[in-house]
Structure 1
Amino acid sequence: MPPPEVAVGSGPISMSIDAAPAKRQRVPAAQRRDALIEAAVHEFAHGGLHGTPVARIARRVGVAQPYVFSLFATKRELFLAAVQRGFELIAETFSRAAAEFESDQGAISSADADVLTAMGRAYVQLLDSHRDYLMLQHHAYAACDDPLIRERVRICYAWIVAEVERLSGAQQDRIDEFFRHGMWLNVAAAMGVEDLSAGCAWIRAEQAAAARAG
């Protein structure tokens, strides 16, 4: 189920003045668009919507800035395309985890208690392997002061919830807990820690350091 549209020879070389120049291979617009979205994911992950010049994204792909605007009317449109790609990656991760869980159940006993647990484990691995997508997700929420971005992010988030409901068949209270814990994981991963509980070692260490300094 696709996401709702959010509108990506060894001898010396001789030179001859009459040799025809090599023709530059034309890259299809769809391929350029995809490359720009991928570049936007990485650049917006570091600079956010307002801190990322479009020229930087263009340079990453090797095109001129005006070409970017021939494919995306505004920087905001490019940002939203990148954000949507991030949500698509999450959905693909959940779908693959669910399929693998069902396959394992048919062969051997799975290490996970149920499909929702398997999806959660896959999400933890995703956060570890695709940090740019994690940081882009944070920037997407931070940019929700913009009404259009807020609307599109809500659409994407609701779609992810629907996908988890469909794939897991879990009751609403478990779905709610799944997403609450997912947001907890997002914050922990962004801060580079494994625990956010009040009594965890790093929080106690920071509190002790603050007390000594004060």
Structure 2
Amino acid sequence: MAKSDATSVNRRSDILSAAIEVFAEVGYYRATTVQVAERANISQPYVFRFFSTKEQLLLNALEVSWSRVIESFRKVVDTTSPELLEITLIREYENIQAKHQNEILLQMQAQTMREEAIRNTMQDGFKEVREMVLTAFREAGIEKSEERTMLFLARGVLCNVALALNMPELMKG
């Protein structure tokens, strides 16, 4: 990779990281590309060099967040014994929440957005996670795999709500 290509990749990554932070802090609709540019220490026109619209920036930020979850879960599925699969996936998601809160908050916002492209990105992420977990649970011989998958996903959503509202007591069982 040429130095300018590496710089472009790094700048794009910096912009996405800044966007995730800004969108999570002030909300997508209130956030501006000026705020994103300031957070990334670049000029606003430079943001548009990589992302044609604010919505495109959001879509790419959501894809980054879903990729993190999917890749993390894939590693767990590929390396964990069937007996420990479910609890290890839960712990992995708790780790993702702790390390990448802004991405989780961004996904929560996006769940309520009506724009078709945003909704499609969210649906694709949930579908991929659901299918991966369901397949892993089935292959692990977990009884009632579909129900356990639904409960796993529901727990994740509840974890997100607990995080967003700063109410850890929601997760105490």
Q: TM-score range by the shorter chain?
A: 0.7 to 0.9
Q: CA deviation at 1:134?
A: 1.8
CA distance in 2, matches of 1:48, 1:64: 21
TM-score (structure 1 length as normaliser) = 0.69
**Aligned: 1:146 with 2:110:** no
TM-score (structure 2 length as normaliser) = 0.83
Counterpart among 46, 58, 67 of residue 25 in structure 2: 46
CA distance in 2, matches of 1:128, 1:32: 25
Counterpart among 59, 74, 85 of residue 115 in structure 1: 85
Q: CA deviation at 1:99?
A: 4.1
Q: CA deviation at 1:163?
A: 2.2
The letter for the 1-side match of 2:130 is V
Equivalent residue number for residue 205 of structure 1: none
More helix by share: 2
On the 8 A contact 1:95/1:167 being kept in 2, the answer is no
The letter for the 1-side match of 2:17 is E
Equivalent residue number for residue 178 of structure 1: 152
On the 8 A contact 1:164/1:175 being kept in 2, the answer is yes
Q: CA deviation at 1:98?
A: 3.1
Using the aligned pairs only, state the percent identity: 24
On the 8 A contact 2:133/2:149 being kept in 1, the answer is yes
Superposed CA RMSD in Å reads 2.2
On the 8 A contact 2:62/2:121 being kept in 1, the answer is no
Q: CA deviation at 1:185?
A: 1.1
Q: Aligned pair count?
A: 164
Unaligned runs of at least 5 residues, structure 2: none
The letter for the 1-side match of 2:96 is L
Equivalent residue number for residue 131 of structure 2: 162
- Structure of higher CA gyration radius: 1
Unaligned runs of at least 5 residues, structure 1: 1-24, 106-112, 201-214
The letter for the 2-side match of 1:89 is R
Equivalent residue number for residue 96 of structure 2: 126
